[in-house]
Amino acid sequence: MPTDTTADSSALIISRFDRALHDRSAFSCGFSPIDNFLKSSLSDHMKVGLVMAWIATTKDDPAVLGFYTLGALGVRPDFGPKTWQRAKVPDIPVIYLRAVAVRKDMQGKGLGTALVIDAMKRCIGIAGQMGAAAIVLDVLEDEHFERRAKFYAALGFKPLGDPDNPRRVFIPMADVLATLR
């Protein structure tokens, strides 16, 4: 999927959510809590500074094709790489990737992968400005869990190993660079 936005009107644009610009009305990814979050809660969550959302559209059409959000999170060092335990700090700062979603008719065409790659590039930039040891996300649990888990594993995410949250996966920032290479 092209991401060069200069001339081709069908080229993908990924830009920060703007309620005046982005048309969320027809968006449905097939998982209603995510659809509802986009339509009902996102603006408020952004106002309070809980998340920042990144929206995929094409150049000439404001309809939302897909999106993801990023936020800050602290995770216990008990799990994950040994270097986290050796640091002897109460929390490890990470970036929380939440609500990756693609409109149903666009799924299976590479947009989800393009969104995660875009998130990874953005996270590398953030990690150059403040401490952020990894990208963390919680894989949604329903009958498609295994398929989702495979999608993230293919991008380099691995289980964090927290028995209280077995759905949680992470990718250390150094491994993000390897995925992007």
165: contact with ligand COA by CB under 6 A: no
Minimum Å gap between C-beta 56 and ligand COA is: 10
Q: How many residues bind ligand COA (CB under 6 A)?
A: 21
70: contact with ligand COA by CB under 6 A: no
Of 170, 169, 181, 56, nearest in space to 121 by CA: 181
Minimum Å gap between C-beta 38 and ligand COA is: 11
Determine the Cα–Cα distance for residues 172 and 20; give it in Å rounded to an integer. 35
Binder of ligand COA out of 28, 43, 58, 107 (CB under 6 A):
107
Of 55, 73, 51, nearest in space to 134 by CA: 73
147: contact with ligand COA by CB under 6 A: yes
Minimum Å gap between C-beta 115 and ligand COA is: 7
Written as one string, the DSSP assignment of 118-170 is HHHHHHHHHHTTS---EEEEE---STTHHHHHHHHHHTT-EE---TT-TTEEE
Query: In this structure, what token pair is assigned to residue 40?
Result: 């009902």
User: Would you say 58 and 9 are in contact if contact means Cβ atoms under 8 Å apart?
Assistant: yes
Report 3-42 residues binding ligand COA (CB under 6 A). 29-31, 34
- The site for ligand COA (CB under 6 A) is made up of 29-31, 34, 100-102, 107-113, 139-140, 144, 147-148, 150-151
